Amino acid sequence: MTDHVCVAAIAGAFGVRGEVRLKSFTAVPEDVASYGPLHTEDGSRTFTVTLDRPIKGGFAVRLNTIATKEEADALKGVRLYAPRSALPSLPDDEFYHADLIGLNVYDTGGVRLGRVKSVQNNGADDLLEIHGPGLKATVLLPFTRAAVPTVDLTAGRIVADPPLGIFPDDG
């Protein structure tokens, strides 16, 4: 588990007075500003986020050190992180995506299928992108209780019961 979790991304400038378009990755999108100052992935910059208003696909926000459109444009694509300690605790059956990335995935018989490369969302369900030896391409495994009955963060492993045909040579 990582000490910092990606909670938002800057999509570019909004207007001409230094506001940015912010896409929130939090369960309650408005909460992104309540997790304290957010920082860039490398920790070189820290911003206090003030939500101005909702806009299509996110929020118009003010970052405390950004005053011009040019400064805001320069941040396009930057991901913002919050300390894990600032985030709410989750119920036992929910996980932060950052905690799943890098976990080994095994089938119910104990055979290693690969490692979680990323967590994606197709609009309906989350998908675990699995890569590993013997896979010519990454595999997208539905992150449902049926397909992933066990997530053991302590052991660093996921036990999967994938639908037939998702992994090569499984049916």
**Hey, how many other C-beta atoms are within 10 angstroms of the C-beta on 43?**
9
Say if residue 87's pLDDT is above 90.
no
What span, in angstroms and rounded, lies between the C-alpha atoms of 76 and 78? Answer: 6
Residue that wins the pLDDT comparison between 92 and 103: 103
* Phi-psi domain of 107 (left: phi exceeds 0; alpha: psi -120 through 50; beta: other): beta
pLDDT band at 1 (very low <50, low <70, confident <90, very high): very low
Distance of CA 158 to the CA centre of its chain: 18
**pLDDT tens per residue across span 28-82:** 899 999 998 999 999 999 999 999 999 998 999 999 999 999 999 999 999 999 9
Domains and CATH numbers, the chain: 4-86 (2.40.30.60), 97-160 (2.30.30.240)
User: In which element (H, E) is residue 151 found?
Assistant: strand 150-152
Is residue 62 helix, strand or coil? strand
Q: What is the pLDDT of residue 79?
A: 95
Q: What is the pLDDT of residue 152?
A: 92
Is residue 69 helix, strand or coil? helix
Q: How far is CA 94 from CA 62, 67, 82, 155, in A?
A: 31, 38, 18, 16
Classify strands 58-63 and 20-24 as parallel, antiparallel or unpaired: antiparallel
Q: Dmax over Cα atoms in the chain, in whole Å?
A: 58
Q: What is the pLDDT of residue 99?
A: 87
Quick one: which of 89, 91, 167, 154 has its CA closest to 128? 167
Query: Please, are residues 23 and 57 in contact by the beta-carbon 8 Å criterion?
Result: yes
